[in-house]
Chains A and B, each alone.
Chain A
Amino acid sequence: MSSSEAAGPSPSSALAGRSEFVSSLLAVVLALAVGAVLILAWGASPVTAYAALLDGAFGSWNSLGETLLRAIPLTFTGLAIAIAFRGGTFNLGAEGQLFLGATAAAWVGLAIPTLPAPLLIPAMIVTAAFVGALWSLLAGVLKLRFGANELITTIMLNYIAILFVSYLLRGPLQEAAGYLPQTERLSANARFPALIAGTRLHLGFLLALAAVVLAHIALWHTSWGFKLRVVGLNARAALNAGYNVRLLTLSAFVVSGVLAGLAGYMEVVGVQRRMIENLSPGFGYTGIIVALLGQTSPFGVLAAAILFAGLQVGGSTMQTASGVPSTLTTIIQGLVVLFVIGRGAVDLFLARRGAK
Chain B
Amino acid sequence: MTSAIGDGPAPLDLSGITVRFGSFTANDAVDFSVGRGEIHALLGENGAGKTTLMRVVAGLIIPQEGTIRIDGRPVRLASPLDAAAEGIGMVHQHFMLISTLTVAQNVCVGIAKAGRVFPDLAKVARDLEEIGARYGLQVDPHALVGSLSVASRQRVEIVKALYRGARILVLDEPTAVLAPQEVDGLFRVLRMLAEAGTAIVFISHKLGEVMALSHRVSVLRHGRLVATKPTADTNPAELARLMIGEDLVLPTVDGAHTPGQVAIETRGVSLRDELGVTRLSDVSLAARSGEIVGVAGVDGNGQQQLAEILAGLQAPAAGAVIMASPSGPVDVSRSGPGRRIALGLAHIPEDRHHTALVDMSIADNAVLDSIDRPPLARRGFLAHRAIRAFATRLIAANDVRCTGPEQGVMTLSGGNQQKVVLGRALAHDPRVIVAVQPTRGLDLGATAFVHRQLLAEREKGAAIVLVSTELDEVLALSDRIVVMFAGRIVGAMSRAEVTLERLGAMMTGQAA
Chain A residues within 8 Å of B, Cβ to Cβ: 1-12, 14, 220-224, 226-227, 229-230, 233-234, 236-244, 351-352, 355
Q: B413 touches which one: A2, A220, A227, A236 (CB < 8 A)? A: A2
- Spell out B's residues near A (CB within 8 Å): 19-22, 44, 46-52, 55, 60-62, 64, 78, 92-94, 172-173, 311, 313, 336-342, 347, 349, 352-360, 364, 368-369, 371-372, 377, 380-382, 384, 408, 410-415, 417, 441-442
Q: Which of A14, A220, A227 contacts B371 (CB 8 A)?
A: A227
Given A227-B371, A233-B359, A355-B78, CB of A4 within 8 Å of CB of B382: no
Q: Which residues of B contact A6 (CB under 8 A)?
A: 51, 55, 92-94
The residue in chain B whose Cβ has the minimal distance to the Cβ of A240 is B355
Q: Are A3 and B94 in contact (CB under 8 A)?
A: yes
Contacts of B311 in A (CB 8 A): 240
Cα A236 to Cα B357 with chains together (Å): 9
**Smallest CB-CB separation from B347: which chain A residue?**
A240
Inter-subunit contact A230/B360 (CB<8 Å):
yes
Instruction: Assess whether A1 is in contact with B47, with CB atoms less than 8 Å apart.
Output: yes
Known interface pairs A12-B61, A355-B62; A2-B341 also in contact (CB < 8 Å) = no
* Apart from A2-B46, A11-B62: 8 A-B pairs, beta carbons within 8 A: A1-B50, A2-B442, A6-B51, A7-B353, A10-B60, A12-B61, A223-B371, A241-B341
Is the pair B380, A222 in contact by a Cβ cutoff of 8 Å? yes
In the complex, A7→B409 CA distance in Å? Answer: 10
Q: Are A230 and B414 in contact (CB under 8 A)?
A: no
Contact partner of B337 (CB less than 8 A), chosen from A10, A12, A224, A239, is A239
Asked if A1 and B44 sit within 8 Å, CB to CB, the answer is yes
The distance from the CB of A1 to the nearest CB of chain B, in whole angstroms, is 4
CB contacts (< 8 Å) of A244 on chain B: these are 336, 338
Q: How far is the CA of A222 from the CA of B360 in the complex (A)?
A: 16
Given known A-B contacts A11-B64, A223-B382, A226-B364, A2 and B410 have beta carbons under 8 A apart: no
> A226 to B360, alpha carbons, bound, how many Å?
10
Partner of B412, one of A4, A221, A238: A4
B441 near A2 with CB under 8 A, answer yes
Tell me whether A223 and B381 are in contact (CB under 8 A): yes
CB neighbours of A1 from chain B (8 A): 44, 46-52, 413-414
A243: min CB distance to chain B, Å: 7
Contact (Cβ within 8 A) A11 B21: yes
Residues of B within 8 A of A234 (CB): 354, 357-359
Q: Are A7 and B410 in contact (CB under 8 A)?
A: yes
The secondary-structure label for the interface of chain A is: helix
CB neighbours of B352 from chain A (8 A): 4
Complex-state Cα separation, A241 to B441, whole angstroms: 23
Residues in A neighbouring B94, C-beta threshold 8 A: 3, 6
7 residue pairs, one from A and one from B, having the closest CB atoms: A2-B414, A242-B338, A1-B51, A8-B411, A241-B369, A3-B93, A10-B61
Given A234-B354, A239-B337, A240-B311: A9 and B382 within 8 A (CB)? no
A236 and B355 contact, CB distance less than 8 A: yes
Q: Cβ of B78: which chain A residues have Cβ within 8 Å of it?
A: 352, 355
Give the distance in Å from the alpha carbon of A242 to the alpha carbon of B19 in the complex: 38
Contact B414 A3 (CB under 8 A): yes
A239: which of B336, B339, B360, B364 is its contact (CB, 8 Å)?
Answer: B336
Distance between Cα atoms of A4 and B418 in the complex (Å): 10
* B355 adjacent to A237 (CB under 8 Å): yes
CA distance A242 to B60 in the complex (A): 37
Q: Specify which of A226, A237, A243 is in contact with B356 (CB 8 Å cutoff).
A: A237
Q: With the chains together, A351 CA to B79 CA distance in Å?
A: 12
In the assembled complex, the Cα of A31 lies from the Cα of B487 at a distance in Å of 59
**Distance in angstroms between the alpha carbons of A230 and B19 in the assembled complex:** 31
Residues of chain A lying within 8 A (CB to CB) of residue B313: 236, 239-240
| B21 near A8: Cβ-Cβ < 8 Å | yes
Query: Which of the listed residues B172, B342, B358 has the most CB atoms from chain A within 10 Å of its own CB?
Result: B358
User: Which chain B residues lie closer than 8 Å to A220 at the CB level?
Assistant: 382
Cβ contacts under 8 Å, B347 to chain A: 240
The CA-CA distance from A9 to B50 in the complex, in Å, is 15
Are A9 and B411 in contact, with the CB atoms below 8 A? yes
Which residues on A sit within 8 Å (CB–CB) of B441?
A: 2-3
Across the interface, do A4 and B355 meet the contact criterion of CB distance under 8 Å? Answer: no
* Chain A contacts for B172, CB-based, 8 A: 3
Selected A-B contacts with CB under 8 Å, 14 pairs: A2-B413, A3-B172, A4-B412, A5-B51, A5-B413, A6-B55, A6-B93, A8-B412, A227-B371, A233-B360, A237-B357, A242-B337, A242-B340, A351-B62
Q: With A10-B60, A10-B61, A229-B360 known to touch, is A4 a contact of B354 (CB < 8 Å)?
A: no
Contacts of A224 in B (CB 8 A): 380
Give, as a whole number of angstroms, the nearest-CB distance from A141 to chain B.
19
Q: Please, how many angstroms separate the alpha-carbon atoms of A244 and B341 in the complex?
A: 13
CB distance from B184 to the nearest CB of A (A): 23
Q: Give the residue of B380, B410, B442 whose beta carbon is less than 8 angstroms from that of A223.
A: B380
Kindly name the residue among A8, A244, A351 whose own CB sees the greatest number of chain B CB atoms within 10 A. A8
Q: Which residues of B are found within 8 Å of A9, using beta-carbon distances?
A: 21, 408, 411
Whether A12 contacts B62 by the Cβ 8 Å rule is yes
Does A242 contact B369, Cβ atoms closer than 8 Å? yes
Q: Which residues of B contact A238 (CB under 8 A)?
A: 358
Closest approach, in angstroms, between the C-beta of A220 and any C-beta of chain B? Answer: 8
**A236 is contacted by which of B354, B360, B372, B410 (Cβ under 8 Å)?**
B354
Given the complex, which residues of B lie within 8 Å of A240, measured CB to CB? Answer: 311, 313, 337, 347, 349, 355-356, 369
Chain B residue at minimal CB-CB distance from A233: B358
Residues of B within 8 A of A8 (CB): 21, 408, 410-412
Q: Complex: how many Å from CA A11 to CA B18?
A: 11
Distance to closest chain B CB from A199 (angstroms): 37
Minimum distance in angstroms from A2 CB to a CB of chain B = 3
Query: Are B52 and A5 in contact, with the CB atoms below 8 A?
Result: yes
The CA of A8 and the CA of B402, in the complex, are separated in Å by 13
Q: For B337, what are the chain A residues with a Cβ–Cβ distance below 8 Å?
A: 239-242
Residues of B within 8 A of A222 (CB): 377, 380-382
CB distance from B414 to the nearest CB of A (A): 3
Report whether B381 and A230 are in contact in the complex, using a CB–CB cutoff of 8 Å. Answer: no
Q: What residues on A are CB-neighbors of B359 within 8 Å?
A: 7, 233-234
Closest to B339 in A: A242
User: Which residues of the partner chain B approach A2 to less than 8 Å between Cβ atoms?
Assistant: 46, 51, 93, 173, 413-415, 441-442
Which chain A residue has the least Cβ–Cβ distance from B64? A11
| B52 lies within 8 A of A4 (CB) | no
| Cα A242 to Cα B424 with chains together (Å) | 13
> Of A10, A230, A236, A351, which is within 8 A of B55 by CB?
A10
User: How far, in whole Å, are A236 and B352 apart by their CA atoms in the complex?
Assistant: 11
Q: Which residue in chain A gives the minimum CB-CB distance to B172?
A: A3
Contact A4 B364 (CB under 8 A): no
